[in-house]
A and B are shown apart, each in its own frame.
Chain A
Amino acid sequence: MPETLGMYLFIASEIMLFGSFFTAYFFIRIVNGVPWPSPPYHLPVFVAAVNTFILMTSSATMHWATTSIKRGNVWGMRAGLLLTFLMGLSFLIGQLYEYMRAGFNTSDGAFPTIFFCLTGLHSCHVFIGLAILAIMTIRAFRGHFSAESHHGVEIGGIYWHFVDVMWIVVFTTVYVL
């Protein structure tokens, strides 16, 4: 517990941050009754769905990496971390592609503003997760982790899954419902 306390406190603060953004989203959409998405705009649901699939798969590879190192399979961990990093990077590139083709901007009203704020906040977290993953991957290739000592992989994995959980909530509320 003490060794993961820092990550728990960080995640707790992140949940509160996301909570404030979701409050703004629900206020705009439900209390103010702003149509979602506001005409004439459309949300790029297909790109977001592909991104969701990529992110979910990256969680599976992250889990594979952790399971591998627990069994002493160093190459399994390296492959898992590398794949997770690449899929996280693909997600970010997909998100940028989505922004470029969205057809609206933050100055176009409350709907685009909260859309970019929520998805952008999540993208920032993916970026931080990628930075953590990059460090983990470099350390993995330098032989810093073993079956007995792999705390760095475990902590990074918890953060990555948290980011994915938040994306499921963002995708469900912003894109689908």
Chain B
Amino acid sequence: MRNPLRSEAEAYRFLIVIVVCAAAIIAASFINEWLGVAVAVVVFVGLFWWLKQEPVPGAADPPKPVASGTPPGTHRVLVVAPPGTDSVNVPDGAEVLVVVPALSSTSEALTGAVDDRRHDAEATAAALESRLPGARVEVGADDPALAVEDALRVFGADEVLVAGDGGMLAAIRERVALPVSRA
């Protein structure tokens, strides 16, 4: 939805629209009270539709892929392991960070009822930490691509390994300018 007060020019245009809408409601009310109510409803719906339809500058642009890098002589691997992952194969001699995204459903994410999902992710993280000595294991955001983005900001990696399904792999590939493959 577009902000009608995005700039002075748009705020002025919004004011003109409001004046026209108010004039329509007033004119209809003078004819008949219920006609005024009907016009008011139409005006509110129309205004909502207009603001919803207006394109938001930059909103349609694809997000910029996140790049990453590591110091010379090091090999760092970021592993994405969804909750329930038993084990992952990681390259020998590499510094490894495992991120367990706290995957949640849309309704859970919208209502903030993500505590149980986070507990699941923490349990998986604890299990993986015991099976992967030397690797750091963390719980990440509920969106795997966002969890990878967050991790790459503090852990520059050479590649990303994904232990999830094809959808997760594709979503991460879209957001990351690094080699992404299945773990």
Q: Which residues of A contact B (CB under 8 A)?
A: 4, 8, 11, 56, 59, 62-63, 66-67, 153-154, 157-158, 161-162, 164-165, 168-169, 171-172, 176-177
Cα distance A60–B9 when bound, in Å?
10
- CB-CB under 8 A from B7, the residues of chain A are 154, 158
- Asked if A161 meets B11 with Cβ closer than 8 Å, knowing A8-B3, A11-B5, A177-B36, the reply is yes
- Asked if A168 meets B11 with Cβ closer than 8 Å, knowing A8-B3, A161-B5, the reply is no
Cα distance A162–B5 when bound, in Å?
8
Among candidates A11, A161, A169, A172, residue contacting B12 with C-beta atoms closer than 8 Å: A161
B26 CB-CB contact with A under 8 Å: yes
Nearest-neighbor residue (CB-CB) of A157 within chain B: B8
Among candidates A8, A66, A176, residue contacting B5 with C-beta atoms closer than 8 Å: A8
Among candidates A63, A158, A172, residue contacting B25 with C-beta atoms closer than 8 Å: A172
Q: Is the CB of A66 within 8 A of B22?
A: no
- CB-CB under 8 A from A177, the residues of chain B are 25-26, 29, 36
CB distance from B49 to the nearest CB of A (A): 18
Is the interface on chain B under 10, 10 to 19, 20 to 34, or 35 or more residues?
A: 10 to 19
Nearest-neighbor residue (CB-CB) of A66 within chain B: B8
- Asked if A59 meets B15 with Cβ closer than 8 Å, knowing A169-B22, A172-B22, A176-B26, the reply is yes
B155 CB-CB contact with A under 8 Å: no
Q: Is the CB of B18 within 8 A of A63?
A: no
B19 CB-CB contact with A under 8 Å: yes
- CB-CB under 8 A from B9, the residues of chain A are 63, 66-67
Find the residue from A154, A158, A168 having the highest chain B CB count within 10 A. Answer: A158
- Asked if A168 meets B22 with Cβ closer than 8 Å, knowing A158-B7, A161-B5, A162-B5, the reply is yes
Q: Is the CB of B5 within 8 A of A168?
A: no
Find the residue from B9, B15, B18, B26 having the highest chain A CB count within 10 A. Answer: B15
CB distance from A54 to the nearest CB of B (A): 14
CB distance from B82 to the nearest CB of A (A): 34
Among candidates A4, A11, A56, A63, residue contacting B19 with C-beta atoms closer than 8 Å: A56
- CB-CB under 8 A from B22, the residues of chain A are 168-169, 171-172
- CB-CB under 8 A from A169, the residues of chain B are 18, 22
Q: Is the CB of B15 within 8 A of A168?
A: yes
- CB-CB under 8 A from A8, the residues of chain B are 3, 5
Nearest-neighbor residue (CB-CB) of A163 within chain B: B15
Cα distance A171–B15 when bound, in Å?
14
CB distance from A122 to the nearest CB of B (A): 14
CB distance from A1 to the nearest CB of B (A): 9
Cα distance A62–B26 when bound, in Å?
26
CB distance from B146 to the nearest CB of A (A): 20
Which residues, 1 to 38 on B, are CB-close (under 8 Å) to A?
3, 5-9, 11-12, 14-15, 18-19, 22, 25-26, 29, 36
Cβ proximity bits B115-153 to A, threshold 8 Å, 1 near / 0 not: 000000000000000000000000000000000000000
